[in-house]
A and B are shown apart, each in its own frame.
Chain A
Amino acid sequence: MDELLNEFLTETNESLATLDTELVRFERDSSDTRILGNIFRLMHTIKGTCGFLGLPRLESVAHAGENVLGKFRDGDLPVTPDAVTLILRCIDHIRLLLVELGAAGREPEGDDGPLIGELNAMASGEPVAVPPADAAAAHAIAAPIFEEDGFPVAAELLAEVAEALGPQVAAQPVSPQRSQPQPAAELPRQVAEAARDNNAKEPDQAASSIRVNVDVIENLMTLISEIVLTRNQLMQIQRNLKSDAFKVPLQRLSHITSELQDGVTRMRMQPIGNAWAKLPRIVRDLCVESGKKIDLVQRGADTELDRQVLEMIKDPLTHMVRNSADHGVEDPVTRRDAGKPETGTILLEACHEGGHIFIRIADDGRGLDADRIRQKALANGLATEAEIAAMSEKQVLQFIFQPGFSTAEKVTSVSGRGVGMDVVRTNIERIGGAIEMDSRPGEGTTFLIKIPLTLAIVSALILEAGGERFALPQINVVELVRAGSRSGARIETIRDAAVLRLRERLLPLVSLRTVLELGPDEVDRDRFVLVMEVGAFKFGIIVDRVFDAEEIVVKPVAPILRGNPFYAGNTILGDGSVIMILDPGGLSALAGQAHSNNDGLQVAGSVAGRDESEASLLLFRAGGPELKAVMLDAILRIEEIDAGAIEQVGGRHVVQYRQKLMPLMMVNGDQRLVETGRQPLLVFCDNGQPLGLVVDEVVDIVQNHISLELAPRQDGLLGSAIVAGKATDLVDIRHYIEYGRDNWIRDEERPRLAAGGRHG
């Protein structure tokens, strides 16, 4: 295609994106003449260029639009939502023409008469019935803007890179002119900063940026990566050398390489605001369509992101904001009834933090409906009723990330089209990011996205398993635990599943040796567990050794090796060796799978209601020869009292215990109190009231994973399990507490009874 035309298309598409944003801003604050001036100028430029290039259709549409804008500017025409909608339609129409122009290389045939007529009628002040702008069409058409081959790179960055390269280019003479670019580079920087402060694309910014083909930058990035690797290799050689001859120049090379790398990395950076550009328009259209009032608040739009990352999160972000606007924020009446301001707020916030970018999307809407999610999950067969019943609220909410899940009852033009949060999560996880969600009924929903700053260079741990080295991206590594054969944490196995007890939590483990079939685990030597966090799921990876962390350049694996979920790519290390990069996502799926396979047998909530599958158990015998066990956590203390101290009050056995009367209960009907000597008791407590469970003998305290094998045979038992190699009945303390509660001394009775007991 004609280069001139190509450039026009790119530029105009960008202008149109700006127009969208500006118009929505303008609609909100129609007194701001500066914005209007900007809008007018953009439209005028489009019109002018079209005339110059001989594009009569585009020119006439832009001209009609400009007319209306001119009336706005002169104050001849009030800025009404209808008028803005018409202008937006005009912009959409221009886009349509541009798309066809781009495809065919010339203007398509067609008649713009009706639209121009409406615009002219609007300009002349006649009332016009305006259908709402076709939001879906706008999105579809808006998309190509971001798929352009080129994007603007700030001139200052280019200058910087050129400067870093400068000394390397030996042929370049050192002339007095060399000092000149400095002040020149300073000016665009100020302009760029000013533009950022305004949170808008000022036309001046064009002067400080030039258009560079993406391929050029990608290629540059690859070359830089190679230089970095070569530099690392040289450094390693130097370290092994006796002579220091290369030391100084090598240091200089190293320094420049780092700067170069930094410069090019920043060249790939674009403000996240670029990905947000069309959101105000989407939200506005949605408001017009649904009659909602929504304020889209943007913060940190100038936070810079790697271009590749930006591309990947653009659609998820759009989807989430749409969701918030469509399902999250209620209509004004509902909001007023709920005592909330009529205008809902969607907050879009981005910031840098420690090598990561955090993006928050928060609305103050109705929040997620856990009940509906439960029903939906059940209806879609995502889980069984029993599974759902056992889930915490938070776990239930996680269903929205499952494939094929959408709670939208009503399909609107903007959401509920089957592409759900699962796609969002997949996209985010694909770039090594994570997404979290928090929702409160009536207060709103917040999503937090965490993504790595750049995709190309990541910090990774180098580790070894089965004699092979691997790299693991550090973003997902929470901590490193040494699991010794004698000391340190202990890796235990439940059936064949390895677990690690980590601060009262049970961490499912996968062994890299097993996963990658690198031979059997060496149980009797020191190993390491890398505690990983992928999404909300925590698990551990068992490895043989962990070396150091290294900055690596992630390269995709050859097509021949693709399809293996455990690899994210490969790279060349500083010493020149090739190494595979592990994919935390793939490993987590494996650990999750192994984990959920065990779930059916585990009593997650058990007696103490804790979310653990392993617990300390007290083993005892009572009312029979078989072993019984109770959660140690549930027991206050183990007492032995003198048989003579047991008294009877109203047919119940009681004992005076710490200035209180403690009712005693038998585990079952077969049980008898000892006649003489010491009577062992398990004391537990319910709301400050001690309660004694009579036992015959306390056997042991063991740490055990609880896996119920058999259903309970009688009341007061949770079931039977294998504990320390023996069949054991698990006692349900709650049953005794409830039983005791029915027979308990009521508060107001306590003084009298206590006094009676003391005298008796």
Chain B
Amino acid sequence: MVGVSNGQQRGIAGAGPEGADIQHVFATFHVAGQLFGVPVTRVQDILTPNVIARVPLGPAEVRGLINQRGRIVTVIDMHVRLALACAESGRGVCVTVDSDGELYTLLVDSVGDVVDLPGSAREAPPPTLDPSWADLSDGVFRMGDELLVALDVTRLLDIRRKN
């Protein structure tokens, strides 16, 4: 599964005309009003967190830990990770992704549909985009009246590198 998604990433990175006919399937979600997408192949689960156990002294991006069907999953606060306005007190939804056998879950405001986008809809991130976002982004997709920022899960979870 990971192998497939990696292939997809490469296809996107290629960005040339040969990437145009690749279909991208994204699980979409909103964080602070912005639409994001991660490759659906990386998504393991979507759930509403019950209790999030804090991890004192942990990285700011780590909201805590949850018990997802007997597995301990690290909750990444996407508001913090993407340097967006602080989350409202609402609960949010968790999008669990897999990274080298470890599970992480992205705490987002709401989850949207799974969308199927043609490679031709992809645009390189605009140069004016905040560099921290540009680093995490795999491209921007035109989607009806909205723009979807595709996220690179591996880089998204590489919190240490950022620091």
Contact = CB atoms under 8 A, between A and B. Distances in A.
Given A560-B74, A564-B57, A564-B58, A576 B104 contact: no
A469 B64 CA distance: 13
B51 interface: yes
A576 B59 contact: no
B159 interface: yes
Contacts of A516: 56-57
A506 B56 CA distance: 29
Given A559-B102, A578-B66, A572 B72 contact: yes
B12 interface: no
Contact of B62 (A517, A555, A561, A577): A561
B104 A229 contact: no
A492 interface: no
A346 interface: no
B154 interface: no
Contact of A518 (B56, B58, B66, B74): B56
A558 B70 CA distance: 15
B65 A560 contact: no
B10 interface: no
Contact of B157 (A468, A560, A570, A577): A560
Interface in B73-122: 74, 100, 102, 104
A570 to B, nearest CB: 6
B13 interface: no
B5 interface: no
Dominant secondary structure at the A interface: mixed
B54 interface: yes
B46 interface: no
A486 to B, nearest CB: 29
Chain B contact-residue range equals 20 to 34
A200 B100 CA distance: 42
B62 A560 contact: yes
A230 interface: yes
Q: Which of B64, B70, B157, B159: most chain A Cβ within 10 A?
A: B70
B56 A577 contact: no
Nearest to B61: A560
A580 interface: yes
B160 A579 contact: no
Contacts of B57: 516-517, 564, 566
A226 interface: yes
Contacts of A570: 65, 72
B94 to A, nearest CB: 13
A468 B56 contact: yes
A294 to B, nearest CB: 47
Interface string A684-695: 000000000000
Contact of A578 (B59, B72, B100): B72
B56 A517 contact: yes
A133 B132 CA distance: 61
B85 to A, nearest CB: 23
Given A518-B56, A577-B67, A578-B65, 4 more contacts: A517-B57, A559-B100, A570-B65, A578-B72
25 contacts: A229-B70, A468-B53, A468-B54, A469-B53, A516-B56, A517-B56, A518-B56, A555-B72, A558-B102, A558-B104, A559-B100, A559-B102, A560-B104, A561-B59, A561-B74, A567-B55, A570-B65, A570-B72, A572-B67, A576-B67, A578-B51, A578-B53, A578-B64, A580-B55, A580-B65
Interface of A: 226, 229-230, 466, 468-469, 516-518, 555, 558-561, 564, 566-567, 570-572, 576-580
In the A-B complex, the 7 residue pairs with the closest CB atoms: A516-B56, A578-B53, A578-B65, A558-B74, A226-B70, A578-B67, A572-B67
